Structure 1
Amino acid sequence: MHVTARVEYALRALLALAAAEPSALTAHTLADTHGLPLTFLQSILGDLRRADLVYNQRLPRPGYRLARAAEELTVGEVLRLVSGARAEERAEPPAGEPSALVGALRQVWQAADTAQLEVINAVTLADLRDGRLPDLVRALLA
Structure 2
Amino acid sequence: MPTAPELLRRYLASIRSPAAAAGLFAPDGVLELPWVQARAQGPQAIESLITGLLTKIPAFGFRNVQFWIETPERTFAEYEVEAPIPATGRIYRQTYAGLLIAQDGRIQRLREALDTRAAQVLMPA
Which has more helix, going by share of residues?
A: 1
Which structure is higher in strand share? 2
Larger Rg: 1
Scaled by the length of structure 1, the TM-score of the pair is: 0.26
Taking structure 2 as the reference length, the TM-score comes to 0.29
